[in-house]
C-alpha cells in the first residue's frame, strides 16, 4: 500500500480530545481515540480545516524553517501571491521581496509571475473547443485531493497544467543555473506557503512525478523575519547600481492570492470562482449532475476568500484580501514581464503540462465486491437506525453514520456510543435493583413486602 | 421492481418530496451518490443515477403536489421510482421531447422547467417507464443496470 505523506500533524500534548476537529473535517478523516485526535492517512487531504477549527491549537502544519537554506549553495525564495496580503497598508512589493535577500536567500522569484504563465496556458486551452467544459483549476491541491476521493468522475476536467508553485520553481532554478553556473541540484527552491496542502504537494505532488520545489516554509514561520528586514534597501551594491527590480509580476498574477484572481487573469469565456470547502463540494455535486455546462472555467479554493485565507497566513482572510488589493492597485499597471511570443512558446513546448494523470482514490468503498458491499450496507443502515442520531461525537466519530461505518469496518463497537452504553447500564441497574430487593429467608423480618403483609 | 428474495442483499432509500421542495432533489441525489460510492459502483453509473434522481425528484417538486422518491439497489441494478399526486402528463411522448415544458413562468424564472427533465432521464436510464393519469398523478420507474455499458 502507498505511503502517504501528510503535513497536517497533531501536537499530542495540546490535544485534549474534545472532538471539535472531527466535525470540521470534510472527508471524515479524524477520530478521537484514547483521548487524542488521530488522522486517517488515506483520507486526509491536508486542507487544514482542523488547524483552523482547533481551539487548543493542537493541529499544526509541518513545514521547513530557514535552517533548510543551509542544505543548498544557492537559495531562491518563492513567495505565494497571498503572502503580500499579510503586510500593513503602505508597504510595497519591492521592499518585501528585498527583505528575502536580507534573511539569507540569494534570489526571489514571485509565484505570481508563474501564475501569469498558467493563466495564459489555460486561456489558450479554453479557446479550443475540443475540451469538455467546465474545466477546473489545478492550483489548489486540497481541492484536487478532495476530488480524488469524492468526485473522481470530474478529474478529467481539470486543466492538466502544473501549479504556479511548480512552474515558478522550475523557471527560477533554470535561470539560476544560467546566471551562476551552480549545479541544478545545489540550488534550493523554497516555497513560502499559505497552507499545509502545498507543503504536501511539494513532497508528494499529484500532477508531476517529482517536484522542483526543495523546501516549503510556512508563511507564519517567516513573517517576523521579513517584517524585521523591511526597508533595509538592496543587499548587493551591484544590483543597486543596475537598479535591478525584483518585482516582475503584474496585477494578473498577483491577484491569484485571493478568490476571483484566476478568472480575472484568464479573461476568456464564462467563469466562476468558489471558495470554502463546503461551497466547493456543493458546486461539484451540481456539476456532477450535469449542471453548469455553460460555464467554461472554475476556480476552486478550499480556504475562504482564496489563498489569503490559508491556515498558515497571518491576517484574517478578508483583511488580507483588502491589503493585497491595495498593494496591487498601488503597484499600477506595469507591462507583462513575459512577451506574448514568449508565453506562446512556453505553451507550445508543453513543458508546463502535468505529466501524471490525477487518479481516483475510492477509499470510501465498503467492499470490492458489490454484493458484499450491499450486505455491509444493509447492516450499516440497520446499525445507523439503532443509533441515537444525535451526532454528538462522544464516540470519537464525526456522526452516528460514521460510527456505524467504523463498526462495519471493524474499528469501533456499538458500546462506543455513550447513549447506547447508558441504555445497557440502565438495564443492568434495573437488574441489580431487582436482585437487591430479593432477601434471603433468614433476614425475612426486614423484607419490606413482608412487613406490609404483617 | 426486480423480483428479489430475502436472501439477496438489497437496500431501499426513501425520500418524501413536497411541492416546490427544490432542495430535496439535490439532497437526495447527493445522499444516494455517497451510498453508491460506498458500494464501489462505477463513476459512470453513479453519475447517471444522480442525474435521474435529481431530474425525477425535480419533476415531482415542480408538477406534483406531493410525492415520494424511492431508490432500490440490488446486485443487478439500481431502480429509481417516483410517484406523485399531481396534475399528470396528458401526452407522455410529447413530454419526452427536448424543450417541451408546461412549467409555470414562476418556475422558469427560478431557472428550472427547461423541458430537459424527462429527456435527460431517458438518456441516462437503461429502462424507463412512465405511467400517468390526468389529475391523479404520475409514476416513473427508471432502471440502471450495474453491468450496463458506459454511455459516451
The complex scores an ipTM of: 0.83
For strand A215-218 and strand A187-193, is the pairing parallel, antiparallel, or unpaired?
Answer: parallel
Pairwise CA distance, residues A73 & A187, whole Å: 6
Q: Pull the grid cell for residue A239.
A: 544590483
pLDDT band at B152 (very low <50, low <70, confident <90, very high): very low
Whether B82 and chain A come into contact, CB under 8 Å, resolves to no
pLDDT digits (tens, 9 = 90+) for B72-102: 999 999 999 999 988 888 888 888 877 777 7
Whether B70 and chain A come into contact, CB under 8 Å, resolves to no
Whether A277 has a pLDDT exceeding 70, the answer reads yes
Q: What is the DSSP letter of A246?
A: S
- Cβ-defined contact of A289 to B74 (cutoff 8 Å): no
**Nearest chain A Cα distance for residue B86, angstroms:** 25
Q: Which residues of A touch B40 (CB under 8 A)?
A: 362, 365-370, 373
pLDDT band at B22 (very low <50, low <70, confident <90, very high): confident
User: What is the percentage of chain A residues whose pLDDT exceeds 70?
Assistant: 95
Does residue A425 have a cis peptide bond before it, meaning omega lies within 30 degrees of 0?
no
- E strands, B37-136, are 64-73, 77-86, 127-133
Q: What is the DSSP letter of B68?
A: E
Whether A9 has a pLDDT exceeding 50, the answer reads yes
Residues A436-454, mean pLDDT to the nearest whole number: 65
Domains identified in chain B, total number: 1
The backbone torsions φ and ψ at residue B13, rounded to the nearest 5 degrees and listed phi first, read -120, 135
> Quick one: pLDDT at residue A454?
44
Whether A1 has a pLDDT exceeding 50, the answer reads no
Pairwise CA distance, residues A403 & A414, whole Å: 8
- In a domain? residue B5: no
Whether B39 and chain A come into contact, CB under 8 Å, resolves to yes
B91 contact partners, CB below 8 Å, separation of at least 6: none
Pairwise CA distance, residues A409 & A261, whole Å: 43
Q: How far is CA A4 from CA A42, A44, A198, A206, A240, in A?
A: 7, 9, 14, 12, 46
Mean pLDDT score across all residues of chain A: 92
Whether B33 and chain A come into contact, CB under 8 Å, resolves to yes
Residue ranges of domains in chain A:
8-60, 66-349, 370-437
**Nearest chain A Cα distance for residue B89, angstroms:** 25
Mean pLDDT score across all residues of chain B: 85
> Quick one: pLDDT at residue B1?
47
- Chain A's closest residue to B39, CA to CA, is A373
- In a domain? residue B4: no
Q: What is the DSSP letter of B76?
A: S
Instruction: Write the DSSP string, A13-42.
Output: TT----SHHHHH-TT--EEEETTEEEE-TT
Topology annotation, domain A370-437: 3-methyladenine DNA Glycosylase II; Chain A, domain 3 (1.10.15)
The CATH number of A8-60 is 3.30.70.20
Whether A295 and chain B come into contact, CB under 8 Å, resolves to no
pLDDT band at A452 (very low <50, low <70, confident <90, very high): low
Q: A28 and A398 in contact (C-beta within 8 Å)?
A: yes
Helix%, strand%, coil% for chain B, nearest 5: 35, 30, 35
Chosen from A282, A290, A404 to mutate, greatest number of chain B CBs within 10 A: A290
pLDDT digits (tens, 9 = 90+) for A70-95: 999 999 999 999 999 999 877 889 99
Q: B47 and A288 in contact (C-beta within 8 Å)?
A: yes
Chosen from A132, A156, A374 to mutate, greatest number of chain B CBs within 10 A: A374
SS3 assignment, position A4:
coil
**Nearest chain A Cα distance for residue B139, angstroms:** 22
The backbone torsions φ and ψ at residue A399, rounded to the nearest 5 degrees and listed phi first, read -155, 170
> Quick one: pLDDT at residue A72?
97
> Quick one: pLDDT at residue A130?
78
Q: A117 and A249 in contact (C-beta within 8 Å)?
A: no
Whether A364 and chain B come into contact, CB under 8 Å, resolves to yes
Nearest to A370 among B41, B44, B54 (CB): B41
Whether A293 and chain B come into contact, CB under 8 Å, resolves to no
Q: Give start and end residues of each alpha helix (H) in A73-218.
A: 93-102, 111-127, 141-150, 164-180, 196-203
Residues A57-77, mean pLDDT to the nearest whole number: 96
The CATH number of the domain where B53 resides is what? 3.30.565.10
pLDDT digits (tens, 9 = 90+) for A320-337: 999 999 999 887 778 899
Q: Which residues of B touch A375 (CB under 8 A)?
A: 9
Alpha-carbon dihedral angle through residues A390, A394, A399, A404, given to the nearest 10 degrees: -100
- The whole domain housing B72 covers 12-145
- Cβ-defined contact of A365 to B39 (cutoff 8 Å): yes
- In a domain? residue B152: no
Amino acid at each position: 500500500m502507498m505511503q502517504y505523506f501528510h503535513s497536517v500533524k497533531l501536537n499530542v500534548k495540546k490535544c485534549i480530545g474534545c472532538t471539535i476537529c472531527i466535525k470540521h473535517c470534510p472527508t471524515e478523516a479524524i477520530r478521537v481515540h484514547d483521548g487524542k485526535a488521530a488522522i486517517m492517512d488515506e483520507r486526509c487531504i491536508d486542507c487544514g480545516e482542523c488547524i483552523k477549527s482547533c481551539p487548543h491549537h493542537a493541529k499544526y502544519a509541518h513545514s521547513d524553517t530557514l535552517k533548510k537554506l543551509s542544505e543548498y549553495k544557492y537559495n531562491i525564495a518563492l513567495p505565494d501571491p497571498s503572502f503580500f496580503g499579510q503586510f500593513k497598508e503602505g508597504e510595497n512589493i519591492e521592499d518585501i521581496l528585498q527583505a528575502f535577500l536580507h534573511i539569507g536567500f540569494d534570489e526571489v522569484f514571485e509565484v505570481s509571475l508563474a501564475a501569469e504563465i498558467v493563466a495564459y496556458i489555460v486561456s489558450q486551452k479554453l479557446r479550443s473547443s475540443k475540451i469538455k467544459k467546465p474545466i477546473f483549476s489545478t492550483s489548489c491541491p486540497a481541492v484536487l485531493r478532495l476530488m480524488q476521493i469524492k468526485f473522481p468522475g470530474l478529474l478529467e476536467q481539470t486543466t492538466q497544467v502544473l501549479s504556479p508553485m511548480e512552474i515558478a520553481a522550475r523557471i527560477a532554478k533554470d535561470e539560476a543555473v544560467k546566471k551562476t553556473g551552480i549545479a541544478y541540484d545545489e540550488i534550493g527552491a523554497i516555497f513560502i506557503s499559505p497552507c499545509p496542502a502545498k507543503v504536501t504537494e511539494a513532497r508528494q505532488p499529484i500532477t508531476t512525478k517529482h517536484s522542483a520545489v526543495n523546501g516549503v516554509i510556512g508563511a507564519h514561520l517567516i513573517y517576523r523575519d521579513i517584517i524585521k528586514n523591511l526597508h533595509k534597501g538592496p543587499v548587493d551594491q551591484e544590483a543597486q547600481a543596475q537598479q535591478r527590480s525584483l518585482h516582475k509580476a503584474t496585477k494578473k498574477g498577483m491577484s491569484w492570492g485571493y478568490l476571483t484572481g484566476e478568472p480575472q487573469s484568464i479573461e476568456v469565456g464564462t467563469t466562476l470562482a468558489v471558495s470554502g470547502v463546503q461551497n466547493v463540494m456543493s458546486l461539484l455535486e451540481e456539476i456532477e449532475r450535469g449542471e453548469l455546462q455553460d460555464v467554461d472555467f472554475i476556480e476552486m479554493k478550499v480556504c475562504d476568500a482564496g489563498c489569503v485565507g490559508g491556515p498558515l497566513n497571518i491576517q484574517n482572510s478578508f483583511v488580507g484580501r483588502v491589503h493585497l488589493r491595495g498593494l496591487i492597485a498601488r503597484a499600477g499597471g506595469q507591462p507583462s514581464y513575459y512577451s506574448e511570443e514568449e508565453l506562446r512558446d512556453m505553451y507550445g513546448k508543453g513543458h508546463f503540462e502535468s505529466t501524471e494523470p490525477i487518479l481516483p482514490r475510492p477509499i470510501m468503498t465498503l467492499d470490492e465486491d458489490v454484493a458484499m458491499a450491499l450486505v455491509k450496507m444493509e447492516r450499516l443502515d440497520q446499525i445507523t437506525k439503532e443509533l441515537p442520531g444525535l451526532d454528538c461525537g462522544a464516540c470519537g466519530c464525526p456522526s452516528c453514520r460514521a460510527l456505524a461505518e467504523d463498526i462495519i469496518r471493524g474499528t469501533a463497537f456499538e458500546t462506543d456510543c455513550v447513549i447506547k452504553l447508558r441504555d445497557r447500564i440502565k438495564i443492568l441497574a434495573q437488574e441489580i435493583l431487582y436482585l437487591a430487593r430479593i432477601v434471603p429467608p433468614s433476614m425475612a423480618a426486614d423484607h419490606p413486602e413482608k412487613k406490609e403483609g404483617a | 421492481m426486480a423480483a428479489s428474495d430475502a436472501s439477496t442483499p438489497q437496500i431501499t432509500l426513501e425520500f418524501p418530496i413536497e411541492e416546490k421542495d427544490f432542495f430535496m432533489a439535490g439532497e437526495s441525489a447527493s445522499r444516494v451518490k455517497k451510498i453508491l460510492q460506498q458500494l464501489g459502483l462505477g463513476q459512470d453509473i453513479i453519475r447517471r443515477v444522480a442525474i435521474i434522481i435529481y431530474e425525477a425528484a425535480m419533476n415531482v417538486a415542480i408538477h406534483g403536489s406531493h410525492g415520494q422518491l424511492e431508490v432500490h439497489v440490488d446486485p443487478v441494478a439500481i431502480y429509481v421510482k417516483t410517484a406523485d399526486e399531481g396534475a399528470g402528463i396528458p401526452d407522455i411522448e410529447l413530454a419526452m421531447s427536448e424543450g417541451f415544458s408546461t412549467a409555470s413562468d414562476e418556475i422558469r424564472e427560478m431557472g428550472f422547467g427547461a423541458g430537459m427533465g424527462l429527456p435527460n432521464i431517458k438518456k441516462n436510464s437503461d429502462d424507463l417507464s412512465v405511467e400517468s393519469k390526468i389529475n391523479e398523478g404520475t409514476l416513473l420507474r427508471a432502471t440502471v443496470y450495474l453491468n450496463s455499458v458506459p454511455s459516451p
